[in-house]
Amino acid sequence: MADGTKRLPRAVREQQMLDAAVDVFSERGFHETSMDAIAARAKISKPMLYLYYGSKDELFAACIRREGLRFVEALAPAGDPSLAPREQLRCALEGFLGFVSAHRKSWMVLYRQAMGQQAFVGSVKSSRDRLIELTARLLESSTRDPDTGQDFELIAIALVGAGEAVADRVAGGEIEVATAADLLESLAWRGLAGKKKSE
Amino acid sequence: MADGTKRLPRAVREQQMLDAAVDVFSERGFHETSMDAIAARAKISKPMLYLYYGSKDELFAACIRREGLRFVEALAPAGDPSLAPREQLRCALEGFLGFVSAHRKSWMVLYRQAMGQQAFVGSVKSSRDRLIELTARLLESSTRDPDTGQDFELIAIALVGAGEAVADRVAGGEIEVATAADLLESLAWRGLAGKKKSE
DNA sequence: CCATCTTCTTACCTTCAAGTAAGATTGCGG
DNA sequence: CCGCAATCTTACTTGAAGGTAAGAAGATGG
C-alpha cells in the first residue's frame, strides 16, 4: 500500500471499497469506470476488489444494494400509518428529496447509472413501479368524491417522472429541497382535480 | 457481401448504416454495441463504417443528429404563431408523443441511450433545457393574471420530466398517444392555478 | 517462537472490440 | 477497351480492462 494506512479488517475495507466505487461510478458511469480506477481511489490493489466482491458487476450490485437500503431508510418515516395521506405524501417527498440532496452520488448511481445498465435496468424499473403503485394508492385514498373515472396509475406515472426530474435538479444543487417539495406537493393535489376524458 | 445486394452510392449506404446503428444501439445500448454488430446488421463490412463515419463516437453522433432532426420536424407545426398558446401546447404534445410512438427506437437512442454517454449527455441536457425554457414561456404567456410570483421555470422542469416519463410508456406501447396528451395537457393547465409559497 | 489465518501486492494472462493496412471488385467516362 | 475512381472486403494490429496465480507480510493463539 503506497498509503500509510494499515491493514484493516474485512468489514471496514469493504465499506471503503464501496465508498470508492460509488464515487467513481457516479462520476464516470459504469462502463467508463475501470476496476483499476476504483482500486486506486480506494487506495488498495485490484485483486482485493475481486477477493471481496468477485466481479465488477457484483461490486456494482453491492453499491446498488447499500445505497438502496439507505434510500428506503430515508423514506421509512412516511410509512407511519397514523399519518393522514396528505401528510404521508409530504413526509415521503421530504424524505426523498432530502436524501437526494444529501447524497447526490447515491442518487446518481442508484438511478441514473443503473438505468443505463442492461443488467440493472430491470430492478430499477420494478422499484419505480412499486413507487408508482404506492403513489397511485395514496392519491386514490385521498380523493373522496366518487369522481370522473380518474386513472390514478397514469397520474402517478407522470408525477413520479416529475419527481425524478426535480430530484436531478435538487441533486445538482439548483433547487432547494423545500421549494421542490412544495412544487411536487401542489402538483400532486392539483393533478387530482377531476380530469375530463378524451376532450 | 454475403447478401445479394449490389454496390450502392455512398449517400444510400450511409442511410442504411444509420438505420442499422439506430437499431442496434436502441436494442443493446452504446457500450454493448460493437461496430461488428452494426456492420453485420447493415450487411456490410466494418471498414465501411470507418470509411464513412470515422469512429464509433462519430457514428453515434450521426445517429443523434439524424434522429434529432426528425424529432424537431415533428414538432414544427406547433411553432405556428397564429395558434393560441393552448393550441400550441396541444400541438406540441401531439407532435412529441406521436413521434415517440411512431419511432420508439429514435426516442430510445436520442434520449435514453444518449443520456448514458458522457460525451453526449451535455447536448441532450441542453436540448432539454431549451424545451423547458419554451414550456416556461408558453405557460407564462397563457396565464393573464399578474399573479402570485409563479416560478414557471420550476413548473416547466416538473412538466417536462412528467412528459419524458409518459413518453417512455408511450414508446413501450403501454399508453395511447391521445390518453397521454390529455393527461399532460390537463396537468399543465392545472399546475398553473396559483401556487402558495413555502407552505 | 512456530503455525497459521487473514490481509494485501506484484506481475501476469486473456479476451474483446476499436481501429487499420492493403488490396480486390465493379462500373463509368473517354 | 482501358484507366481510374468509388465501393467494398479479408485479415490484421493494438490497447484497454476484466480477471487470476502465486506468494509476501503482519497479526494471533498455542
User: Which pLDDT band holds residue A198 (cuts at 50, 70, 90)?
Assistant: very low
What is the per-residue burial (b if ≥16 Cβ within 10 Å, else e) of A176-192?
ebebbbbbbbbbbebbb
- The Cα B167–Cα B177 span in angstroms is 9
The model's pLDDT over A79-126, given as tens digits with 9 standing for 90+, comes to 899 999 889 999 999 999 999 999 999 999 999 999 989 899 999 999
For residue A82, the model assigns a pLDDT of 94
Render chain A in DSSP notation, one character per residue: --SS-----HHHHHHHHHHHHHHHHHHH-TTT--HHHHHHHHTS-HHHHHHHH-SHHHHHHHHHHHHHHHHHHHHGGGG-TTS-HHHHHHHHHHHHHHHHHHTHHHHIIIIIIHHT-HHHHHHHHHHHHHHHHHHHHHHHHT--S--S---HHHHHHHHHHHHHHHHHHHHTTSS-HHHHHHHHHHHHHHHHS---S--
By C-alpha to C1' distance, D26 is nearest to A7
Which chain B residue shows the shortest CA-CA distance from A163? Answer: B158
Q: Report CA(B123)–C1'(D5) in Å, whole number.
A: 38
What local confidence, expressed as pLDDT, does residue A150 receive?
76
| Residue of B26, B186, B196 to mutate when probing chain A, most A C-beta within 10 A | B186
| Residue A145, pLDDT above cutoff 80 | no
Q: B60-88 pLDDT, tens per residue?
A: 999 999 999 999 999 999 989 999 988 99
Q: What pLDDT score does A190 carry?
A: 84
pLDDT at A5: 65
Chain A closest CA to B156's CA: distance in Å?
10
A143 — pLDDT class (breaks 50, 70, 90): confident
Cell of A169: 435538479
Q: Is B166 an interface residue toward A (CB < 8 Å)? A: yes
- What pLDDT is attached to residue A199? 37
On average, the pLDDT of chain A sits at 91
Q: Is B7 helix (H, G, I), strand (E, B) or coil?
A: coil
Residue A155 has pLDDT above 80, yes or no: yes
The pLDDT of residue B197: 41
A141 versus A61: the higher-pLDDT residue is A61
- The per-residue pLDDT for A197 is 41
In the three-class reduction of DSSP (H, G, I as helix; E, B as strand; rest coil), residue B148 is classed as coil
> Which triple of cell numbers denotes residue A135?
403513489
The pLDDT of residue A3 is above 60: no
pLDDT at A192: 75
Mean pLDDT estimate for chain B: 91
pLDDT at site B192:
75
Per the CB < 8 Å rule, is B190 touching A191? yes
pLDDT score at B199? 37
**Among all chains, which residue has been given the C-alpha cell 464515487?**
A23
Secondary structure of residue B34 in the 3-state scheme: coil
The yes-or-no verdict on residue A144 having pLDDT over 70 is no
Residue A19 has pLDDT above 80, yes or no: yes
> Which of chain A's residues have a Cβ under 8 Å away from the Cβ of B31?
31
Q: How much is the pLDDT for A42?
A: 98
The segment with the largest mean pLDDT, out of B29-38, B110-119, B142-151, is: B29-38
Q: What is the model's pLDDT at position A65? A: 97
Contact A158 B31 (CB under 8 A): no
Query: A178 — phi, psi (to 5°)?
Result: -60, -45
pLDDT tens, position by position, B125-164 = 999 999 999 999 998 887 766 566 678 999 999 999 999 9
Residues with CB under 7 A from strand C: A 1, 6-10, 13, 43-48, 51; B 6-7, 33-36, 46-47, 50, 55-57
pTM of the model: 0.91
Say which residue, B142 or B53, is predicted with more confidence: B53
Model pLDDT, residue B89: 94
pLDDT of residue A196: 44
